[in-house]
Chains A and B, each alone.
Chain A
Amino acid sequence: MKRAPWLVAAGAVAGFLGVLGLHKTAAPGALASGGIQPASQSSQAGQPTHASPRGQTPAGGTRATPTAAAPAAGATVTSVGALERYGYGELAARVSISGGRITAITVPVLRTAEQYSQQLAAQVLPTLRSEVLAAQSARISAVSGATYTSQAYALSVQAALDKAHFR
């Protein structure tokens, strides 16, 4: 059949546009929402360097406790990074800068595809936060098992730092 490639191509375009259309109409509200703002000052000792990827129960005892952002004295600049979508959800990071140093990072927006991703993010965000605090930049290592979350986190932090003209 000579027309076979054209039929496949026509089908492909139709299928592609069809799914995009479906996605546009179905997208809002598809994500489970829940802001997580890890405490900024608690000790980071014993944080996992690996998350337990989906399907396994996250290791106990490392869940972040949602508390208010750290109150900063003096000239503290707060900047919220772009909302970054990633494979399993979306998040935005808020960075506080005081005296030329990053003093706190919170995640005011975290919406995930399902409950498991939510738990996973809660588990790894403190690790990522301490990495940023230690490095004083968004150039951090992803947590194994939470690559996409880590990438989105780094991107959002970088956006926030850029907005605050940090270095």
Chain B
Amino acid sequence: MSASPVAFGAPKSPADRKRRPARSPATRRPHPALARLALLVAGAGLGATLAVTITSQPASQLSARGGALTYAGSLAGMIGTYLALIMVLLVSRIPFVERVAGQDGLLRLHRAIAPWPISLLAAHALFLTLGYAEAARTGVWHEAGVLLTRYPDMLTATIGLALMCLIGIISVRAVRRRLRRETWWLIHLWMYLALAISFAHVIVLGPAFVGHPLTQAVWSVAWAATAGLVLCYRFGLPVVRSLRHRLTVTEVRREGPGVVSVICSGRRLDRLAVSGGQFFCWRFLSRGLWWQSHPYSLSALPQPPYLRLTVKAVGDHSSALASIRPGTKIAIEGPYGAFTRYAQRRPRALLVAAGIGVTALRALLEDLPRGSAPVVLLRASQPADLVLSTEVRELVKHRRGTIHELVGSREEAAINEVSLPRLVPDLAHRDVYVCGPEGFVASVVDTARNLGIPDEAIHHEAFAL
């Protein structure tokens, strides 16, 4: 194990030693104003969608036979489709949004909104079929047949809706737990296909669009731009970065029980901007692993030509990394995450990590300026689980900070409203960064809130097992 936090343990050739340690450039500062503007625009889109729906369908329709159902069906379809657009945008990895909200926050929002578009679009299909059947005084199944066979683009739209419902069902917590993460993830990407094949029927049949060329144009441009952003940032940029940096595994090193560091080397890493605390999604191109991509934090700032990630064996993928061969090629997506020094709102920082959460904390600590006097709390159930603690101690010392290692059971080494102010007397002047398993993060965040720390000064990165 290397004791030096600077050369984090990559193999040293004589040439390496002579070279001045290169640093990768800092990432761009987040601009919350841009994110606020994006929120305003998203809201405006929702209002505009509502307005074009209402103006295209007079209220008098409500009193016609089947009118209430068709009215509700149209409204549900328009709002549902708009929310689907927002959901796609939330995960399209737009850099300026990612920098402010972090992928963690964006995914939480994506998950929170998710049930709405799917149920609204299902309601849209149901209400319109019922409404049309009621108006025509025919059976629902007959009307469904008419809709499918005689309306243009309705067959593809119905297949799209069926796909969406399938994705909705497998995303329900109880079902999702029974699926492999990768299986779920791959199926859920079909949503792009579902949305694409449903697009046409909206423009061709929607009362808000028929005979309204401006609405058609704005709607089409919004969707085309969204598709462009997804192609650009979610698919294009990772491919370009992977090809540019050509990362390969250099060495795998044991750090503690079940914990390994993977040291990678690549080209032009001095051009890859990363902040401490950020993560990449790693795809190791070896047999059996190439098809899955997993998020792991960097456990140190890049030292071109090296990067390091440190992983604890908790699942199939993280366990497989212990035996990955040097020379294995790696594709990356990222860096992502707003768990960085830019998030800090108050003069000083308190960094709290449990278990393998220390990786992000270790890199973040390295990014804090000298003399920043951070307080670091490392929690583990046994001393051997305090991985990277030598490096952390070294970095804390360089920054004139304080470190507390809390080892023991949850009761013995608790972080709560009593122990935290005792360990960190100047808590009121510090931001709190928490990293670790979900339960731990939630409890520390609660504790910090209860101690009066405002939400904007609490930053967390949780990893699910």
A residues near B, CB below 8 A? 1-4, 7-20, 23, 26, 30-32, 50, 52-56, 82, 84-89, 112-114, 117, 139, 141-145, 147-148, 150-152, 154-155
- Is there a chain A Cβ closer than 8 Å to B40's Cβ? yes
Asked if residues A150 and B135 are in contact (CB atoms below 8 Å), the reply is yes
For B431, the chain A residues whose CB sits under 8 A away are none
Asked if residues A155 and B152 are in contact (CB atoms below 8 Å), the reply is no
Asked if residues A55 and B153 are in contact (CB atoms below 8 Å), the reply is yes
On whether A50 and B43 interact (CB within 8 A), knowing A23-B51, A88-B210, A152-B64, the answer reads no
10 closest A-B pairs (Cβ-Cβ)? A113-B211, A11-B43, A87-B207, A15-B47, A55-B152, A15-B44, A16-B47, A151-B64, A142-B135, A19-B51
Which of B65-73, B184-192, B302-310, B324-332 forms part of the interface with chain A? Answer: B65-73
13 contacts across the A-B interface (CB closer than 8 A): A7-B40, A8-B43, A8-B46, A11-B44, A12-B47, A18-B48, A52-B150, A53-B205, A55-B151, A86-B61, A113-B210, A147-B70, A154-B64
Asked if residues A112 and B153 are in contact (CB atoms below 8 Å), the reply is no
- Chain B residues numbered 188-227 whose CB sits less than 8 Å from any CB in chain A: 204-205, 207, 210-212, 214
For A15, the chain B residues whose CB sits under 8 A away are 43-49, 51
CB-contact partner of B210 in A8, A54, A142, under 8 A: A54
Distance of A12 Cα from B39 Cα, bound (Å): 10
Distance of A2 Cα from B457 Cα, bound (Å): 12
Q: Which residue of chain A lies nearest to B59 when distances are taken between CB atoms in the complex?
A: A85
B294: min CB distance to chain A, Å: 28
Interface string of B127-163 (1 = CB under 8 A from A): 0000110011110000100100011110000000000
Number of interface residues of B (CB under 8 A): 52
Distance of A76 Cα from B146 Cα, bound (Å): 40
Interface string of B61-91 (1 = CB under 8 A from A): 1011111001000100000000000000000
Asked if residues A142 and B47 are in contact (CB atoms below 8 Å), the reply is no
B438: min CB distance to chain A, Å: 22
Chain B contact residues, majority secondary structure: helix
For A55, the chain B residues whose CB sits under 8 A away are 151-153, 204
B136: min CB distance to chain A, Å: 4
A110: min CB distance to chain B, Å: 14
In the complex, the number of residue pairs spanning A and B with C-beta atoms less than 8 Å apart equals 166
Q: Could you say which of A2, A54, A114, A148 has the most chain B C-beta atoms within 10 Å of its C-beta?
A: A148
CB-contact partner of B207 in A3, A56, A88, under 8 A: A88
Asked if residues A1 and B32 are in contact (CB atoms below 8 Å), the reply is yes
A115: min CB distance to chain B, Å: 10
On whether A13 and B47 interact (CB within 8 A), knowing A1-B32, A142-B136, A143-B136, the answer reads yes
Q: Which residue of chain B lies nearest to A88 when distances are taken between CB atoms in the complex?
A: B210
B424: min CB distance to chain A, Å: 24
| 5 other A-B residue contacts (CB within 8 Å) besides A14-B40, A20-B51, A117-B210 | A12-B44, A15-B44, A18-B47, A148-B61, A148-B207
Q: Could you say which of A4, A10, A86, A147 has the most chain B C-beta atoms within 10 Å of its C-beta?
A: A147
Distance of A16 Cα from B51 Cα, bound (Å): 5
For B51, the chain A residues whose CB sits under 8 A away are 15-20, 23
- Is there a chain A Cβ closer than 8 Å to B183's Cβ? no
B141: min CB distance to chain A, Å: 13
Asked if residues B132 and A147 are in contact (CB atoms below 8 Å), the reply is yes
Distance of A94 Cα from B385 Cα, bound (Å): 86
A152: min CB distance to chain B, Å: 7
For B74, the chain A residues whose CB sits under 8 A away are 87
CB-contact partner of B132 in A26, A52, A82, A144, under 8 A: A144
CB-contact partner of A141 in B39, B137, B456, under 8 A: B137
Q: Could you say which of A1, A26, A30 has the most chain B C-beta atoms within 10 Å of its C-beta?
A: A1
B50: min CB distance to chain A, Å: 6
